[in-house]
Amino acid sequence: MLKLWQALFTPHYFKGVGLILVLGMFWLSLDQNQSIYDNLLSTSSAYAQNVGTGNTWQQVYEQVPDLPKENQYISKETGKIAENNTLVSRLIQYHVYLKGRAPNYRLDWKLTLADYLNANEVMYDSSYPGHDTLKKNPFEGDRTAIRRLTRKQRNALVQALVNAYSQN
């Protein structure tokens, strides 16, 4: 019995117990984070439904007037140039509705720009905003336009988007 007692309560044993406790706590925290993550995912689509593009894209162009509009595409429905279908309006649609990202956080917008720069998540032309409403899919043109922006312009774009959604 004494040997069992000594074996159980040696410093070496406590290190093992500490490791098990730490791993157990880590595992529990992962489980809690997973449920928090699931909650965020389940509410993001509901949140996206409440966020409209409205005139937000116009506010962005007012704040950063040197951004390319990329609004030369022709509407399938009318056969005329869809002047209100701009790079920024499609960027917002991609960000909020397709990716379900929050529109009022800089980091989320930077992730979206990283998507456009082929440095984050894969983008698909078949689901890109405008693919079904414009005669020519603006996917490649928009990616090229974002790629051509300087870092200063991209930062100004992100700040203008955050400003526009923080005001609304």
Residue 54 pLDDT level (bands cut at 50, 70, 90): confident
Residue 167 pLDDT level (bands cut at 50, 70, 90): confident
- Per-residue pLDDT tens for 137-149? 999 999 999 999 9
Could you give the CA distance from residue 158 to residue 105 in angstroms, rounded to a whole number?
A: 9
Q: Is residue 123 within 8 Å of 163, Cβ to Cβ?
A: no
pTM over 0.75: no
**Between residues 157 and 37, the one the model is more confident about:** 157
DSSP conformational letter for 127: G
Find how far residue 156's CA is from the centre of its chain.
Answer: 17
**Between residues 70 and 40, the one the model is more confident about:** 70
The predicted pLDDT at position 52 comes to 57
Could you give the CA distance from residue 84 to residue 103 in angstroms, rounded to a whole number?
A: 20
pLDDT of 130 above 50:
yes
- Per-residue pLDDT tens for 12-50? 544 555 545 444 544 445 444 443 344 344 444 444 444
